Structure 1
Amino acid sequence: MKRPALIVPIMALLASTTPVAAAPAPGLVADPLASPMWDNHAAWLLGKAPVRFDPAVIVTMPDVTENQHVFPVTVDARALGKVQRIVVLMDLNPLPVAIDYQPQGALPYVSLRIKLDQRTPVRALVLTADGVWHVGGRWIDAAGGGCSAPPVSRVKGDWAQHLGEMRGKLWHEAADTRLRVSVRHPMDTGYVDNIAAYNIESMQVRGADGAALGTMTINGSVSEDPAFTLLLPPTQAGPVSIHMADSNGRTFDGRLTP
């Protein structure tokens, strides 16, 4: 079974209650969260690009993980101006990258729901036009098993009947246009016995003129029935088209008007 390009096999590590900072690898900035996996992830995701741990990257999450299968995360990087990529990373997850989002014509903002397999830092890595990665996030406690338990639709057995059903809304709020879209999909991680990896892999959002508003690579650590909220420029009146593709080659399309 084909896996998304950003996923590499990484064994989940048990997080210490009191992390101890390690010396960073050459060229990397010391991690303020003292994660045992940060240097590793930074090396394969960011290469030798400069990194700045930046409070301008606002990552909003609940203080308590009520459900490790559906954990909401919002990333707001509008204070950085023009942004090229937003990567949501869970250091100690077996599937550490949730999304890699390019807000081409959209604003640098995204909200989604992820799976947490254990206590881990949850971060946003934001690339600006000057080639600098700006990083924000914090540790989150989780009971575990978010990536290794079957989705609800698998337990009910009705996932195939609803596969690809898309819902969404496009509306104006304050000075922005807000888009929310969800799709029915099991988002199987491959870590459940006898259930192969199967997930939405990509999403493209385009305006009425066909111009790209946002392109997203999506991995199995995004929650079942993925839902995303994006912010579009206030001039974006709609309609907006949405195209998704999964790892079995199926495609799903939708169109939203305000």
Structure 2
Amino acid sequence: MRMSKRLLPVLLALLPLPAFADGAALPEDPLGSPMWEYHAKKLFAGAPVRFDPAVKVILPVIAEDQHVVPVTVDARALAGVQRILIFADLNPIPVAIDYRPVVAAPLVTTRIKLDQRTPVRAAVLLTDGTWHVWGDWIDAAGGGCSAPPVSRVRGDWADHLGEMRGAAWASGNNTRLRVSFRHPMDTGLVENIPAYNIEALRVTDARGATLGEMAVYGAVAEDPVFTLEVAGRDGPIEIAARDTSGLEFSGALEPKAP
């Protein structure tokens, strides 16, 4: 895999979250979260919302390490998926990712930070304008968002910033890919360390067509990892990311035969 790290003009646009909407009728939260109504009104902007177990959210019951909590969202049982949000109700930075699977399966895995026990949810927007939501509570010791990342403590973060690793392999008629970046993903909640994180990710095919794109927020764990499944299995897949300082990191993955 080839990899480059360079400062370039901005190529990826951060995907904006919807504006706040007041007075929307919302379904009762089966998780009983005190922040459900606030987040739902802010994120869904008055659009219809339903709780739907067809949105599979795979979570640990207990966060063994609150700095690195794996989350998988599989919405392949639903047709017409436009966006996938992952958010934690009680986190100081609630939204972790906003993924648009343009020509990709509605499937994503990443790792997030948790600051306390909280519901973690996936919200899936369909072409009919309806949001389908599911999730569960995770027990966490706390401090995942307010402790310095390991690379900051070691002091070697700048030496490895943007280093990219990944693999791609055939999955039926599609390609499953897993890619990681070395990045501190600072939340801005640690004294004297400003917010600094990867903010956008784009996956394209060999012709430059967008397969999927993602807005990324500081709630994603240090050295972020993403697993996606995109359409097709021929030719290299390009991955490009940009952080909040304008640094861009890119590389290509060649799918392996099954």
Query: Residue in 2 aligned with 1:135?
Result: 133
CA distance in 2, matches of 1:159, 1:131: 41
Query: Which residue pairs with 2:4 in the alignment?
Result: none
Structure possessing the higher relative contact order (Cα contacts under 8 Å, 6 or more residues apart): 2
1:246 maps to amino acid: D
- Kindly indicate whether the alpha-carbon contact (under 8 Å) linking 2:61 and 2:137 is maintained by their aligned counterparts in 1: no
Tell me the TM-score normalized by structure 2.
Answer: 0.89
> Counterpart of 1:203 in 2: which secondary structure?
strand
Q: For the Cα contact (< 8 Å) 1:70–1:115, is it kept in 2?
A: yes
1:211 aligns with 2:209: yes
Matching of residue 248 in structure 1 with residue 245 in structure 2: yes
Matches for 1:91-102 after TM superposition, within 5 Å: 91-102=89-100
Q: Of residues 40, 63, 70 in structure 1, which corresponds to 2:68? A: 70
Three-state SS of the structure 1 residue aligned to 2:129 is coil
**Unaligned 5+ runs, structure 2:** 1-13, 18-22
After TM superposition, give the deviation of residue 238 of structure 1 in Å.
Answer: 2.9
Structure 1 partner of 2:45: 47
CA distance in 2, matches of 1:238, 1:76: 25
Q: CA deviation at 1:175?
A: 5.2
Give the corresponding residue for 2:150: 152
**Unpaired stretches in structure 1, ≥5 consecutive residues:** 8-24
1:178 aligns with 2:180: no
Between the aligned partners of 2:110 and 2:90, the Cα distance in structure 1 is 19
Q: Does the residue aligned with 1:209 lie in a helix, a strand or coil?
A: coil
Aligned residue for 2:230?
232
Rounded Cα–Cα distance in structure 1 between residues aligned with 2:158 and 2:132: 40
Cα displacement (A) at 1:6: 5.8
- For the residues of structure 2 that align with 1:213 and 1:92, how far apart are their CA atoms? 32
Separation in 2, partners of 1:224, 1:164: 12
Question: Any runs of at least 4 consecutive aligned residues in structure 1 with deviations exceeding 4 A, and if so which?
Answer: 4-7
Question: RMSD over aligned Cα, in angstroms?
Answer: 1.7
C-alpha spacing 1:26/1:253, structure 2 compared with 1 (3 Å): closer
1:73 aligned counterpart, secondary structure: strand
**How many aligned residue pairs are there?**
239
CA distance in 1 between partners of 2:235 and 2:78 (Å): 26
Determine if contact 1:171/1:179 at 8 Å carries over to the other structure: yes
Q: Is contact 2:24-2:41 (8 Å) kept?
A: no
**By how many angstroms is 1:63 displaced?**
1.8
- 1:170 is paired with a residue whose SS is strand
Displacement, 1:237? 2.1
Percent sequence identity is: 62
Partner AA of 2:123 in structure 1: L
